[in-house]
Amino acid sequence: GGQMVLQQLAVTIFFALVAVRVFGEFGHFTDVQLTAAGLNRAAEADVVHAPPSFVVGTNAAVDLIVSATELLTALGIEPSQAPRDVTSLGSLADLQACLSHHYPLGIAAERWMTNKTLFEEIVVIAKTLRSAKYFIGGNAALMSQHLVEAEGAEAVLVAAAGPMLQKLLPARLQLDNSSRVAMDEIHLILEYGKNELWGTLTAGRANRFIFSHDITNAEMAPLEWLAPSVEHAAPNVVVVSGVHMLEGQPHDIRVQRVQRLREILIGLPSAAVHLELASIGDPTLVTLLHENLFGVVDSVGLNEQELFALARDGGPHEAITAQPVTVPAVAVVADIMDWLLTKYGSRLTRIHFHSLTYHITGVRRGSWANVAAGTASASLTASRRACQSRLLTDRLFDLPFQRNFSLHVADGEHDVLATMRPFEPASPVTTWTVGNHDYALTPVLVCRKPVKTVGLGDAISATGLLNTPFKGRP
């Protein structure tokens, strides 16, 4: 008997040592490392599928990025004695007043220049500056670039691309024939660093001031090329972005263009249609879009700005959504998403929400595959792209995600989803169901010093769509 006890003791000690070895090592991992490993595992737990092909429209431009102070000096513009925020720029005096308002505060702004001749004259000068650099601009161009370059997918771009943009776009990206136009639409981006001096003014933060006279995208002219291109390319997914460009238009033009887009989308064949809403500031435009388009698309991509604007229109948590938008609690976002999927459920079966610190994808069960893997992939893309780094380390990243969260705002009934749960970095993906809707939530490892923020939302949405294949309409 004694020998038996000794054997059992030896076995117990052996397992205790193994446990110390394993869990001792385990204890050395930081939350960032555990989360990164967990997200990578989740992203790879993908059911194998043929990569979908895409047609992406409709906004594209060339971003001409220059030093703000270098351009202002070349134009002979000093800070204004009477700074004010101007909604559209008709003259150099407007530009001077508007920049004098934003520059010391370090606030990003984007303005429409009404004077075409003046805009073209400024561009000619901007092109001669030492700091001048050219980049791909416009959400459709950025999404399609990400799909072919980073993800190796097949994509056709339907958007106006002039000679300069054609050179900048990746060779593998197919351009719809109508998309090759004679003139580039240029967006001027004036960048400045924190504490940079412009005359007597000091920049409060590093930021940018953008202006353009971009008629093509403001009126969504390339819409008319969408249907022929979809017929010809027969893609699995059609992505529509650039609707936010209508913000610069009067109400009647907005209504006319949105109704035209609705007609075009209704006429498309069986491809999944994704509407990218991110970056719309005007709530009346958000209302116009959801009333006309949510019933004719399969998928929507948005952030907290647009989600709150939608919820203010008869959605849940009015007391919360009436407040200025910050990164909202998970439970609030999940409830609004469920309200939208229920309200438009006859057609809309996927919502991809992304904020700085977390993403949630909600789908109608059976309509989309790989929901958790797709959400994790998009989160990893956000981190890697912002820091331009494959490695996700503590030196470069923070994990500001809430350490305790619930998945539903308590409404008096006992509900497991409304109970607070701790966030566990070792298994960072949370999945749950409400009725016939499936959800996946992932935190985002937030880059401490972002190298690249332009096109971040576009890359996130494109990655999510690529890795969450469409299975068909309800």
For tokens 């959605």, what's the residue? 315
The answer to whether the beta carbons of residues 299 and 272 sit under 8 Å apart is: yes
Residue 191 three-state SS: strand
Helix (H) or strand (E) holding 35: helix 31-44
Look up tokens 């004694």; give the residue: 2
User: For tokens 């000679």, what's the residue?
Assistant: 163
Q: If you ran DSSP here, which 8-state letter would residue 325 be given?
A: P
Helices and strands (H and E) in the chain: how many:
16, 22
22 sits in which H/E element: helix 2-26
Query: What residues are labeled active site?
Result: 458
| Furthest C-alpha separation in the chain | 100
Q: How many CB atoms lie within 10 A of CB 348?
A: 25
85 vs 96: CA distance, rounded Å: 10
Rounded CA-CA distance 172/360 in Å is 31
Measured distance CA(113)–CA(163) in Å, rounded: 23
What's the distance, Cα to Cα, between the start and end of the chain in Å?
A: 66
